[in-house]
């Protein structure tokens, strides 16, 4: 899991760098790129929260101490809702469709990283 996550984070950083280059090179797309950057940040945060949640569940299933867990899905939904609220409140800074699209990037990157790692192992 750690190898897949580190591969996905490196890929996300490359996408973020490419988005920053587009932001600097094309002034007409600044709202789109800032919205995408906001969504990418939320996507990374959600992936980190999900990774932490999976580690807690596996620790509990392996016989660890029973620990009371909070709402995992709620925090990830709240992150996306915060992105939507920021994009709605500041439309001159952030593009709403780009921000929401950026929120969905990390799961696809993780899926591709898992596929690559599984192909290498078999």
Write the burial class of residue 62 (CB in 10 Å: 0-12 exposed, 13-18 middle, 19+ buried).
exposed
Residue with the bigger pLDDT between 24 and 52: it is 24
116 assigned to some structural domain? no
C-alpha distances out from residue 48 to 85, 94, 106, Å: 21, 23, 10
Residue 105: inside a domain: yes
Asked, for residue 97, whether it belongs to a domain, the answer is yes
50 falls within a domain: yes
Q: Is residue 121 assigned to a domain?
A: no
Q: Which domain holds residue 22?
A: 2-111
pLDDT of residue 47: 92
Residue 99 lies inside a defined structural domain of this protein: yes
pLDDT digits (tens, 9 = 90+) for 70-105: 667 888 999 999 999 999 999 999 999 999 999 999
**Of 30-39, 49-58, 95-104, 111-120, where does mean pLDDT reach its minimum?**
49-58
Reported confidence tier of residue 3, pLDDT bands at 50, 70, 90: confident
Virtual torsion, Cα 35, 97, 83, 14, nearest 10 deg: -50
Q: For tokens 């919205």, what's the residue?
A: 35
Looking at residue 68, what is its pLDDT?
66
Asked whether residue 35 is domain-assigned, the answer is yes
Give domain status of residue 118, yes or no.
no
Total domains, the chain: 1
């Amino acid at each position: 899991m750690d190898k897949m996550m580190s591969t996905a984070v490196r890929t996300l950083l490359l996408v973020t760098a490419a988005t920053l280059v587009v932001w600097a090179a094309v002034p007409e797309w600044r709202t789109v790129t800032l919205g995408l950057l906001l969504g990418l940040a939320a996507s990374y945060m959600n992936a980190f929260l999900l990774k932490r949640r999976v580690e807690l569940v596996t620790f509990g299933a392996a016989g660890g101490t029973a620990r009371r867990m909070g709402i995992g899905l709620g925090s990830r939904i709240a992150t996306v809702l915060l992105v939507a609220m920021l994009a709605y409140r500041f439309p001159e800074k952030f593009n709403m469709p780009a921000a929401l699209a950026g929120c969905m990037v990390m799961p696809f990157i993780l899926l591709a990283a898992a596929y690559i790692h599984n192909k290498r192992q078999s």
